[in-house]
Amino acid sequence: MSVLAGKELRIVGFLCNWCSYGGADTAGVARATQPTDLRIVRVPCSGRIDPLFILRALLHGADGVLVSGCHPGDCHYAEGNYYARRRLEILKQFLPVLGIDPRRFEYTWISASEGQRWQLAVTKFTQQIHELGAAPAFENAEKLIQIADMALTALRPLGTGQHAALADLKKAIVEKLPELDCVIGWQQSYDAAHSAPLFMRKPEDVEKLVWGPLNVNNLATYLPQYKGKKVGIVVKGCDSRSVTQLLQEGLINRDDVVVFSMPCEGTLDMARINQALGAYQHIDKVAYDEAGVSITADGKEHRFCMVEYAQGKCYSCATPGAVLADVRLGTPTPVTGTPATPPELALLDSMSLSERFAFWHTQMERCIRCYACRNACPMCVCRDYCVAESRDPHWLTQEDTATEKFFFQTIHALHLAGRCTGCGECQRACPVGIPILALRQQIARAVAQTFEGYRPGMNAKATPPLMGFTVEENNIKEKDWNK
Amino acid sequence: MITRYFPADALTKVVASLADERRVLIPVTQPAVKKSVIFAPFSAGMTVELHKASVAPKEAVLPQCETLLTYSKQKDAEDPSKVNLVLDDKPQAQPTIVFGCRPCDARGFAVLDRPYLDGPFIDPYYQARRKQLIVITQTCPSVGTTCFCHWVGSGPNSTTGSDIMLTAIDGGYVLEAVTEKGEALLAGMKLEDGAPFMDKAKTARGTVEAQLAPAPDLTQAQEKIAARFNDNTFWEEQTAQCLSCGACTYMCPTCYCFNITDEGDGVCKAGRRLRTWDTCMSPLFTREASGHNARMSKAQRMKNRISHKFSTYPENWGGEFSCNGCGRCINNCPVNLDIRAIVLAAINEKGA
Amino acid sequence: MRIGVFICHCGSNIGGTVDCAKVAALAATFPDVVYATDPMYTCAEPGQAAIEEAIKNYQLDGVVVASCSPRMHEPTFRRTVERAGLNRYMFEMANIREHVSWIGKDIEANTNKAAELVKMAVAKLRNNKALHAASFDVNKKVLVIGGGVAGIQAALDCAEGGIPVVLVEREATIGGKMAKLDKTFPTVDCSACILGPKMVDVAQSPNITTYAYSEIESISGYVGNFTVTIRKKTTYVDWSKCTGCGACTEKCPSKKTPDAFNEVTGLTTAITIAFPQAIPKKAVINAQHCKKLLTGKCGVCAKTCPTGAINYEMKDELVTETVGAIVAATGYDLVDWTQYEQYGGGRYPDVITSLQYERLLSASGPTGGHIVRPSDGKEPKNVVFIQCVGSRDRSIGRPYCSGFCCMYTAKQAVLTKDHMPDSQSYVFYMDIRANGKLYDEFQRRAVEEYGTEYIRGRVSKIYPDGKGHLIVKGADTLLGQAVEVEADLVVLAVGVEAAKGAARLAEKLRISYDSYGFFMESHVKLKPVETNTAGVYLAGVCQGVKDIPASVAQGSAAAAKVLSLFSKDKLQSDPQISQVDIKRCIACGKCVQTCPFGAIELFDFRGQQKARVIETVCQGCGLCTATCPQGAIQLAHFTDNQILAEVDALCQC
């Protein structure tokens, strides 16, 4: 038993109890004939509708999802639909990057008295879905391999940080260290071509501190676990946005964090560096100059120009200096021009919906569910209680299908809506190189477009867009759909 | 032992001929800005390239996710309250060759065999796969910066866990059977005899062996790490960088922990019991039904992982480490955490 | 679980277009369903008894009824399963009437859809948990919003029942529209004479606190425990000192202030008392016309006032009252008729509204009860009444009938003849709606005894003939010919719409309103007094058009609802509220930040911050559940897993 083959498509409705469910009742009482495809899930309020329910339905076989709540202003719970409006709008703008036609999801407002309006909405939406036809199944997507073009132009000169005031920084840290539990920075890792986080507790630890384009990690990830303790952190511009965002959400206290910053001149894309180095046994030499770094491994010299080998995020970075800092050394280079679309997102933009579906399926198949993406993310604050592995709520099974893996990525991306600072740690951490940052970048783009250019992590005092609302939304035109 | 030779350009053809009768898992490069190499079934049209894989081939015997059983509830036509539960718990296994893994990968099968086959309980699912598995291992053509196989009882030419060794020589490959299974397979392959090329193969193997830096002495590791058990400060310091993800353990050829969940028991009338990889680095690993967690902190979890590999596993299984020195946990770690450094720090007590 | 499924035929309502037996047979194949049947009327007494019996016979621990909307009968069936010993939340409904059988005739599709809705309900029920209501105290005090006849009646009945009442009235006096009427149909008795005593009762009742010239600023809380902030608008007169003597109004030099109480048919002073019988009888300064407030020069009233009550510095004041129930009785306003260009769009002084005409008829009105033309003060001879101005008119978005216009027009025609025996009244009408007690008889008298000429047809144009008359051009659709009447005065029976600001008040009350601003009742037939917000009731025209007897009846009905609510010392809270899984909570505070009711707080739990829900404040919207990223706060009965079960039942099977 399922939808009637050839006659119906699978359409799921989420309706608030007080207005729209009543409106559907009113339509029934008026014997207002409607298509039979829709099945309604009753919820108390449109604010109860986690956008993930909609994604789950769309990824698991629904051909369309219709959400309806009370008209803005009429919410039985005063404000639920205002929040819903923002979340549903961001979801709608998120769907295309996944390869899902955004017309498969609509949201509208229908009151308990508007039976006729409900009839029209159902009829129109059902017709819209029938015009689109049955939704393609993610699991059946064909293989598609495409790789982002990394030939990018930076908004500022990229360099290797060789004039950075490292000695001054070390001095400043040593001075502050007595009042701090530790200061988090970077050190050389297993060889001179790789770095790792450094936790400085004693003055001699500070000697290990390094600065330069190998310092790829966003150390803000460690801050929430130190909440309640006084710690210092060394940041690049991008990292400081994560610190700001953590402050905004109250996940760390301003008084407990001492931020040390130096201007960032870009970081290296270690994936491509490692690729170029190939198998080697020993790093003989790492030599920096203004434009890049030369790494000699097993006697062979490899040249990496910053303009060619920087991380994708660095090219469009407009915050080389820290957004906030207690100890600020050096002057950041000026930023000129406007950021271009990030490379992976630009690649997806160039694809059709079905190509994006195929692209993601091809990529997600190799995910091993190690959750390095999540754990490297400074904004993943659920930490040990992520819904990915819980049974109550039971959002994900442990199956290794591409759909389940992809659904997790959409959960992560949606949970980051209005919060992701684009640090790219998720993608960098992925051991199998899945370009998942693009999903977060699309969310960030949707948030910026919808909420007056809002960029997370720029202002600790701002209200995150999805944690608030305005009665009149300037850029949400949801009413256009069901006129 | 039987040996065979084939020219370099026949590599794909040789794999294709093996794939006629079985699933052949080969290392496949996944194109992306950040390339990775994953073992995947060979299919027509593929070109075989023998890169070291990012993820160990343990998938062949211990899939990331496998269905242990499916069940369906069949209702009595007359009385819906009478339900007949139909179970299917037959292991799903097929004849498989892992082709072109490295000695560190192959040694993983030997490490997994002990708990799954040699202990008090034989795992039928593992056993069904293992019985039908042939491992064709490429001797290592080079040594990597994170490689330390020779520290832990393996080496670039170690045969542990392999059925056949494959060595690249100038212009071709030499195959050398290690086990009877390997003999049988090689005997059936219509390839040139490898004997004339064995000298070249041995030279190639020796060249790599010679590149190895001297290994530290880990003979005291089992006791010394056990002695660290209550040194919380030590483990906390070593673990500060850890993000508690599962990259290290899922990449590891020797990690064999799993989780079991029942799924699909919705209105779908049928359900399935799944076994999936689990990671001891996750706080969920030891969270009990009561909510109590025996290993709340990541330091405790790291202690467990290191101790298991270098102390308790050897204690249980004849002194063998459950670490092959493949280095995957180092270079795939998002923060480049180095297990070698932790082990060395653990055995070199202060001042020692 | 052991689930029983009941597929209701609802006579032929469902059975006509859904194969109920087949749905029941399919339901029997769903997991955990041990019993499925298809009764004719599940909600009827035998139907409910059958459910109770099945629960016992088949040891059911959950029940699904597929029938009408849960908005209709969910409470009914919850009580049914409860009688048989189940927890009332171990019950789910599938709506196969309003959402299936009534909206399509395709039996195959309907049957399939009905079965799927049952499947969803079963899937959800399998995730349901028994929930238990907590009880809480009731503040036995009621707020009545609106001091018209409906609000007055509700306030008096509650006060009579011993309940303290807070009565809030937007205008300076209670009485509402009825206080402006001259006489009332069908008895033609004096409006002031029958309403006046009730107003005095309000003033004299020790149980009623009246806030006149006040509006509702905000409302928070929930049934039994609302907190209401009332804005006392600035009157510039200290009412605790004002005795209502009227000395100020006599001396006030600003005598050209439009008289709102008289529907601007006359002028009054800047400081004024609405009308002689006003309750409370207190003066108010109209700031738009007060010389002192506009120019700083005057102050005559302050000098005149014997008690020194005038205070030009006065500001709005906010007062807070706590109540357990609220009656909304905010009445109506007239449609803006000036949008009708064909009636002059407000340009002809002798085209007036029926309410203005009431003021002209009234002995306490600006003309002392003499009917005179606003243009020249002369008595009219021919008076033309036009019905349905702003009623039953789709073109201006007012398709509904205003209900009482036919009757008051007949009354006004009768009164016109009484006042001016040689006058002639004409009534242009669409249909006569006179369905109340003694109504039709009264309307016939207007025709038969008072010679009112009724013309069935619409007026197409009114224009002045230049000689002091208005030419009313229309059609007599009964005779099928054009009609032209030379009128001295035209009275428009202007339709009603919800009072200005009703929508804003509805939002504060968290109740629904329809597209015309009328408040939505819980059920149009069976719950005409209740709203969907517990503890909020409706009386009078705010809920829909009605005349005085019906408004009074609904006022009493609302009072009865309040009294029955207050008959219990404790109320049961709805257990469908959010619950925090304290283990999963990481105290990120996102739920606290977004909760519209302030129902979530952070607290210290063994040295760690955790969130907790204040049970009586939580309204059960579930916004927090959709907000919490780790799913640590779950709305009971609508948990993630319950909704996921429904989605999966649809999408994955």
CA distance B56 to chain A (A): 11
- On the 0-12 / 13-18 / 19+ scale of CB atoms within 10 A, C267 is middle
What is the structure's pLDDT at B222? 95
Q: Which of C13, C29, C64, C103 to mutate to test the interface with A (most CBs of A within 10 A)?
A: C103
Q: List the single range of A200-204, B280-284, C264-268 with lowest mean pLDDT.
A: C264-268
Look at B240 and A199 and tell me if their CB atoms are within 8 Å. yes
Q: Can you give the pLDDT at residue A151?
A: 87
Tell me what percent of the residues of chain C surpass a pLDDT of 70.
Answer: 100
- Count CB neighbours of B147 within 10 A: 27
- Which chain C residues contact residue A60 at CB under 8 A? 647-648, 651-652
Residue type, C544: G
* Residue C31 pLDDT > 70: yes
C584 to A28: CB separation less than 8 angstroms, yes or no: no
Q: What is the pLDDT of residue B352?
A: 37
* Residue B30 touches chain A, beta carbons under 8 Å: yes
Taking residues C208-224, what's their average pLDDT? 94
Distance (Å) from the alpha carbon of C32 to chain B's nearest alpha carbon: 8
Q: How many Cα atoms sit within 13 Å of C236 on the Cβ side?
A: 21
Give the length of chain C: 653
CB-CB: which of B52, B211, B250 is closest to A281?
B211
Listed in order, the ranges of chain A carrying CATH 3.40.50 are 11-135
Residues written for chain A: 483
Provide ipTM, 2 decimals: 0.95
| pLDDT value for A1 | 46
| Closest among B113, B133, B109, B130 to B185, alpha carbons compared | B133
Strands (E), C236-345: 257-258, 267-268, 271-272, 284-285, 317-323, 325-328, 332-334
Q: Is the pLDDT of residue A234 over 70?
A: yes
Concatenated DSSP letters for A421-470?
A: ----HHHHH-TT---THHHHHHHHHHHHHHTTT--TTS-TTSPPGGG---
Amino acid B151: pLDDT: 96
The model's confidence at residue C17, banded by pLDDT at 50, 70 and 90, is very high
Torsional class of C507: left (φ above 0), alpha (ψ -120 to 50), beta (otherwise) = alpha
Residues of C in contact with A78 (CB under 8 A): 507, 510, 596-597
List beta partners, residue C635: C578
Identify which of A28, A50, A383 has the shortest CB distance to residue C626. A50
Residue B134 has pLDDT above 80, yes or no: yes
- Residue A161 scores a pLDDT above 50: yes
| A112 contact C CB<8A | yes
- How much is the average pLDDT of A107-125? 95
Report, in angstroms and rounded to the nearest whole number, the Rg of chain C calculated over CA atoms.
Answer: 30
Tell me if A432 and B36 make a contact (CB, 8 A cut-off).
yes
In contact, A384 and A166? CB cutoff 8 Å: no
Q: pLDDT digits over B13-22, tens only? A: 999 999 999 9
* Segment (H or E) for C27: helix C20-27
Which chain A residues have a beta carbon less than 8 Å from that of B279? 370
Contact C43, C73 (CB under 8 A): yes
- Per the DSSP assignment, residues forming a β-bridge with C481 are C476
pLDDT at res. B269: 65
Phi, psi of C327 (to 5 degrees): -110, 120
Confidence bin at C335 (pLDDT 50/70/90)? very high
What does the mean pLDDT of chain A come to?
A: 94
Distance CA C590, CA A463 (A): 11
Mean pLDDT value of segment C433-458: 95
Helices A51-59 and A80-98: crossing angle, nearest 10°? 30
The more confident residue out of C62 and B77 is C62
- Whether B267 shows a pLDDT value over 80: the answer reads no
pLDDT at C532: 79
More confident residue, C169 or C192: C169
Q: What is the mean pLDDT of residues C150-158?
A: 98
pLDDT per residue over C112-127, tens digit each? 999 999 999 999 999 9
DSSP-assigned letter for residue C98: I
Q: B247, A372: Cβ pair inside 8 Å?
A: yes
Q: How close, in Å, is residue C212 to chain B by CA atoms?
A: 58
| In chain C, % of residues over pLDDT 90 | 90
Across the strands, what pairs with A13?
Answer: A40, A66
B207-245 in b/e form (b: 16+ CB < 10 A) is ebeeebeeeeebeebbebbeebeeeeebbbebbbbbbbb
pLDDT at residue A30 is higher than 50:
yes
Beta strand C208-211 pairing with C165-168: parallel
CA distance A173 to A195: 19
Whether residue C522 has pLDDT greater than 90: no
Yes or no: say if C28 and C115 are a contact pair by the CB < 8 Å rule: no
Containing A40, the helix (H) or strand (E) segment is strand A38-43
What mean pLDDT comes out for the span A433-445? 96
* Tokens 């059902």 belong to residue: A126
Position B351 pLDDT exceeds 60: no
| Arithmetic mean of pLDDT, A421-428 | 96
Interface probe for B, chosen from A366, A377, A383, A405 (most Cβ of B below 10 Å), is A366
State whether B268 and C653 contact (CB < 8 Å): yes
Whole-angstrom Cα distance, residue C95 to residue C115?
11
Q: Do B80 and C645 touch (CB under 8 A)?
A: no
- Rounded mean pLDDT of chain B? 94
Specify the CATH number for A11-135; select among 3.40.720, 3.40.50, 1.10.10, 2.30.110. Answer: 3.40.50
In chain C, whose CA is at the least distance from the CA of A55?
Answer: C647
What average pLDDT does this structure show over A177-186?
A: 97
- Cβ–Cβ below 8 Å for B267 and C653: yes
Percent over 90 (pLDDT), chain A: 87
Nearest neighbour of B80 by CB, restricted to C34, C123, C648: C34
pLDDT recorded at residue B266: 62
Which residue in the block uniquely carries the two structure tokens 């009105």? C365
| Element containing residue A23 per DSSP (H, E) | helix A20-29
Q: How confident is the model at residue A479 (pLDDT cuts 50, 70, 90)?
A: low
* Residue B239 touches chain A, beta carbons under 8 Å: no
What's the average model confidence in pLDDT over B72-98?
Answer: 91
Comparing A369-378, A471-480, B72-81, B174-183, the range with the smallest average pLDDT is: A471-480
Q: Which residues does chain C have within 8 Å of residue A393's beta carbon, measured at their own beta carbons?
A: 631, 634, 639-641, 644
Q: What percent of chain B stands above pLDDT 90?
A: 90
Q: Which of A376, A391, A400 sits opposite B334 (nearest CB)?
A: A376
Which residue's entry shows tokens 């160990």? Answer: B56
Span B113-125, mean pLDDT? 96
Q: Residue range C66-87: average pLDDT? A: 96
Predicted confidence (pLDDT) at residue A4 exceeds the cutoff of 80:
no
Q: Which residues of B touch A387 (CB under 8 A)?
A: none
Kindly state the average pLDDT of the residues B297-305: 96
DSSP 8-state secondary structure symbol assigned to residue C398? B
- CA-based nearest residue to A49, from A28, A8, A20, A9: A20
* pLDDT score for C497: 95
Q: What does the pLDDT look like over A264-306, one tens digit per residue?
A: 999 999 999 999 999 999 999 999 998 999 999 999 999 999 9
